[in-house]
Amino acid sequence: MTRLTAWFSEGRSTGKHTLPFVVILLSVTILASAANLFLPADSAFYVSTYTITLLGKYLCYAMLALAVDIIWGYCGILSLGHGAFFALGGYAMGMYLMRQIGDRGVYGNPLLPDFMVFLDWKELPWFWLGMDQFWFAMLMAVLVPGLLAFVFGWLAFRSRVTGVYLSIMTQALTYALLLAFFRNEMGFGGNNGLTDFKEILGFSLQADSTRVALFLITAILLAVIFVVSQKILSSRLGKVVLAIRDSESRSRFIGYRTDRYKVWLFVYSAVIAGIAGALYVPQVGIINPGEFSPINSIEMVIWVAVGGRGTLIGAVIGALLVNYAKTRFTAIMPDAWLFALGAMFVLVTLYLPKGLMGLYGQLKAKRNSVMNKESQA
């Protein structure tokens, strides 16, 4: 047990959050799932399926925040286009779910999804082939975002596009994809996107048990990605990444091929975003081009900023807090949400550059120094 604890906690100071995080995340998930499945609906501790799905959605966002944090908090690359990787992963899953509908669609075509029948298409486009296989669709959910990130990152980092330039280019990337996916001719359902899913791997998506299973899988994957990312970032490679963040030219002069580190970290981050998207779609039941919109991508950045960038736990906390606030705000006073979000952007950058985790660290340092003084006295 101690070895396990040690394994979880090794590395940089932030690593000490890993074990508590994994334990809390998994126990809350399991408790909530059990409360949904085994308690009667009138029990005080019953957790509704709506809540389960909502929590599952938050966990997907948390995973996405991890992806943004890895690239921004640790490597200083502010990507305003991570929504694109998320949405691509989501579309891969959506295509699989679409193929699973089979002849139960409105038009009852066994091969073609409804929107293709509606557009009077005669056969399946080539990029839809194989998407009826779960393993293949999941491979695509990882591969397509990863490949896009590789091509983009390779082009951008090799020619040393950095800073705000890079941010704008990533925003343009997701904007271009937004425009592309809006087109009906692209074969991704155009404006309406993909929806009306029936089942995943033969399990009905409406069933409580499927929802809980998806929620549990999301939580487990989040934990795994968290631990793996922690490992990667506290390894030698992680130290180089931090060095690049703090002074790229100096790292380059020391002899590191900084562009390669950045490309691979970017790809890793994009793959995580793709996985988050693939988990997100079956839980919310729809994927449409709106996910590509630049504002979504920039919102992800603020989750990380609120939680505290450069700490994985901060990204997760930020994503959960901001999205919980969003759910509450949009229910009570929808108009105020954008004010709140805007104010969050301004105030966090002005007064909380290290986010809530930074605030926590400051408070603790203060308490420690007070305690030290007391003990000296």
The binding site for other proteins (CB under 8 A) comprises: 76, 78, 152, 155-156, 158-161, 163-165, 167-169, 171-173, 175-176, 179-180, 182-183, 294, 298, 301-302, 305, 335, 338-339, 341-346, 348-350, 353
Residue 319, Cβ density class (10 Å: 0-12 exposed, 13-18 middle, ≥19 buried): buried
- H runs (alpha helix) in the chain: 2-9, 18-38, 49-72, 82-101, 114-118, 134-158, 163-182, 208-234, 236-246, 248-254, 258-284, 294-307, 312-332, 334-351, 355-376
Shortest Cβ 146–other proteins spacing (Å) = 18
Shortest Cβ 140–other proteins spacing (Å) = 21
Q: Cβ neighbours of residue 212 under 8 Å, at least 6 residues apart? A: 33, 36, 37, 49, 52
Shortest Cβ 144–other proteins spacing (Å) = 17
Shortest Cβ 98–other proteins spacing (Å) = 23
Q: How far is residue 163's CA from residue 149's CA, in Å, rounded to a whole number?
A: 17
Q: How far is residue 128's CA from residue 137's CA, in Å, rounded to a whole number?
A: 10
Q: How far is residue 175's CA from residue 335's CA, in Å, rounded to a whole number?
A: 25
Which of 324, 326, 307, 327 has the alpha carbon at shortest distance from 315?
Answer: 307
Shortest Cβ 320–other proteins spacing (Å) = 20
Task: Compare residues 179 and 254 and give the one whose CB is closer to other proteins.
Answer: 179
Task: Compare residues 294 and 310 and give the one whose CB is closer to other proteins.
Answer: 294
Task: Compare residues 184 and 195 and give the one whose CB is closer to other proteins.
Answer: 184
Tokens of 361: 């660290």
Shortest Cβ 374–other proteins spacing (Å) = 35
Task: Compare residues 267 and 302 and give the one whose CB is closer to other proteins.
Answer: 302
Task: Compare residues 188 and 226 and give the one whose CB is closer to other proteins.
Answer: 188
Task: Compare residues 180 and 365 and give the one whose CB is closer to other proteins.
Answer: 180
